[in-house]
Amino acid sequence: MTGDRWDPSWEERADLVVIGSGVAGLTAARAASRRGLRVLILSKGGPGDTATQYAQGGIAVVAPQGDSVDSHVADTLAAGGGLCDPGAVRSIVEAGPDAVAALTDLGAVFDLGRDGRISRTREGGHSTRRIIHAGGDATGAEVQRALSAAGLPVLFGTAVLEVVTAAGEVQGVVAVSGRGLGYVHAPAVLLATGGLGQLYALSTNPSGATADGVALALWAGAAVADLEFVQFHPTVLYSPGGAGRQPLISEAVRGEGAVLVDSRGVSVTAGVHPRGDLAPRDVVSRAIAARMRELSEDHVYLDARSVADFPRRFPTITASCRAAGIDPRRDLVPVAPAAHYQCGGVVTDLHGRTGVPGLYAAGEVARTGLHGANRLASNSLLEGLVMGERAGLAALERLGEPARVTGWSTGSRPALPRGPVQQTMTEHASVVRDGSGLAQAAHTLATTAAQVAGERLSADGPAYRRRADLVAWFEDAALTVTARAMLVAAAARTESRGCHTRADHPVPVANPARPIVVGADATGIPEVVSEGAGPDAVGDTSQRVAREAVAPHAAVDVAPLAAPS
């Protein structure tokens, strides 16, 4: 490696590169592999470093009795604040039972009720008990276990630094592992990188949730939408001075009867919403934030003392509480909102295609139109299963396309330190925002970015000879560009809708709600590129671009795979 020239230490070839090893990535990899594609999964962390692993609540899927697709769709649309794509919602919800059946056939074990049937609970925003769960409150861990057992090839400890394109089409990726810098030549790349929780000082996300997929997509020329809608989980275990990933207290705890109270024992949500403590998450988070401001306190409490057999039903939460010196059977549990889920992301159609030929996205990183302005609880694992399968199969259309990574140059991507970015975003772009704060945050990041814009990452630089340093630089760059993209979108949305709350614009504007689409300009700076006329405008645009991109190829059968016998 000399100067700005980065020579690879290793090279691989694949038909499909999957970036991320959570529910969406593993499901996609399995679907593509079963159809004969050479699949290589690249995971920045270890086997358990995924948001899937930490998912507690469960999977929202239509129950066989007392429920319907129409009901699940209606609940999702209600939570989404007018920004869901109704067609996408129905498509994904309808596919849920088959996706869960395939997961069960892989060996996933869900909790059973006394009648021997799969047990179901209720969470915020749902009109009935349709959430299936495993291990009490360890559903994500069971999903991760079942999918990992398929034995797909994964390179752990391998961070993707860039999705390489030529003539507007994907050629592969540049990555770094313990072997050094590497090139993977592939005509198809799937982003399944999860969320962006590390934009904030407190989050339920793992430390690697640094918005990698959003950044990679923007740098590759794809668009993102609805990025201003960051869901803050209302009930995250509060610890004085805590920072980084914090244990969440699943919404299912409230579904089993726990209630939110302040330090005086007064209900936090009474009179705020007809469903009270089981209102959609944005409603509950705002109610908690308002009560904390009113009392000048930094947390409220969850009273779970009435929940029967709490340790058996919620063993993971019990362990987290006990580690903090709290017994939820006898003590009030201190909680506060923390960054949890990105509702928007990389714009895709209903097969995971982006506007860049060969680039796909699935799971939390993608914007399918399912979540709109606020994700309905436990729809995330559902989306990962359904859209992971579809994206993996859609990648078949790229089979045989030429692909070669010929080099890598980092250009002048600003990479601001994580700490200042988190401080700025936490202060000005959290549960409640306003125009002046967003403008101040944007100015702070832009000014600091300008100071480092001329710095090029040099292969001869002593600070970047180790993998850890190169990954740290990349994560800082990803957080920086994503923070700026989010601030652009949040400033443009001069209304309160879903989990985007503007104190200076406290009500939503008249319908139709409009998605805000953001891209990167020629210098890599995020900018608003369009504001759709309706909630499905982004999906329509993405599908048109995707159709044009794959028009020369033969039609691909993307019907769900049958479960293995």
* Residue 134, φ and ψ in degrees, nearest 5: -135, 145
User: In this predicted structure, what is the pLDDT of residue 540?
Assistant: 52
CB 207 within 8 A of CB 201: no
Q: In what order do the strands lie in the sheet with 180-185?
A: 10-13, 180-185, 169-177, 159-166
Residue at 323: amino acid letter: A
Whole-angstrom Cα distance, residue 169 to residue 456? 25
| Burial class of residue 497, CB neighbours in 10 A (0-12, 13-18, 19+) | buried
pLDDT value at residue 510: 83
Strands (E), 62-220: 120-121, 131-132, 154-156, 159-166, 169-177, 180-185, 189-191, 202-203
Peptide bond into 512 cis (omega under 30): yes
- Say what angle helices 86-105 and 379-394 make with each other, to 10 degrees: 90
Q: Give the model's pLDDT for residue 379.
A: 95
Among 171, 538, 546, residue whose Cα is nearest residue 391: 546
Distance CA 70, CA 72 (A): 6
In whole angstroms, how far apart are CA 441 and each of 190, 230, 417, 422, 509? 31, 16, 15, 11, 24
What is the pLDDT, as a whole number, of residue 559? 36
| Phi, psi (deg, nearest 5) at residue 118 | -60, 130
Per-residue model confidence (pLDDT) at position 531: 73
| Per-residue CA distances from 289 to 137, 200, 494 (Å) | 26, 16, 20
What does the radius of gyration of the chain's CA atoms come to, in whole angstroms? Answer: 22
* CA-CA-CA-CA dihedral for 318, 286, 500, 248, to nearest 10: -10
Bridge-based pairing state of the strands 244-245 and 230-237 = unpaired
pLDDT of residue 465: 54
Answer yes or no: are the C-beta atoms of 268 and 262 closer than 8 Å: yes
**pLDDT, position 530:** 83
Q: How far apart are CA 255 and CA 279, in angstroms?
A: 11
Beta bridge partners of 244: 202
Reported pTM: 0.88
Would you write out the chain's pLDDT as a tens digit for each of its 565 residues? 344 557 789 999 999 999 999 999 999 999 999 999 999 999 998 887 888 887 877 999 999 999 999 999 999 999 999 999 999 999 999 999 999 999 999 999 999 998 889 999 888 889 999 999 999 888 989 999 999 888 898 999 999 999 999 999 999 999 999 999 999 999 999 999 999 999 998 888 888 999 999 999 999 999 999 999 999 989 999 888 766 778 889 888 998 999 999 999 999 999 999 989 998 888 898 899 899 989 999 899 999 999 999 999 999 999 999 999 999 999 999 999 999 999 999 999 999 999 999 999 999 999 999 999 999 989 999 999 999 999 999 999 999 999 999 988 766 788 999 999 999 999 999 999 999 999 999 999 998 877 765 555 555 554 455 778 889 999 999 999 999 999 999 999 999 999 999 999 999 998 778 899 999 998 889 999 987 655 555 555 444 443 433 333 333 333 333 333 2
pLDDT for 348 equals 97
pLDDT of residue 54: 78
SS3 338: strand
**Of the candidates 524, 489, 442, 476, which has an alpha carbon nearest to the alpha carbon of residue 224?**
489
Tell me the C-alpha distance between 222 and 219, whole Å. Answer: 7
Q: Looking at residue 552, what is its pLDDT? A: 31
DSSP string for 217-261: HHHHT--EESTT-EEEEEEEE--TT--EE--B--HHHHHTT-EEE
Size of the chain, expressed as the number of residues it contains: 565
Active site residues: 281
Please state the three-class secondary structure of 66-86 as a single string: CCCHHHHHHHHHHHCCCCCCH
Angle made by CA atoms 77, 351, 49, in degrees to the nearest 5: 85
* Helix 435-452 / helix 418-428 crossing angle, nearest 10 deg: 160
Contact 159, 145 (CB under 8 A): no
Token pair for 447: 């000014």
Which helix (H) or strand (E) segment is 519 a member of? strand 516-520
Q: What is the arrangement of strands in the sheet containing 16-19, beginning at the earlier edge strand?
A: 154-156, 39-43, 16-19, 189-191, 359-361
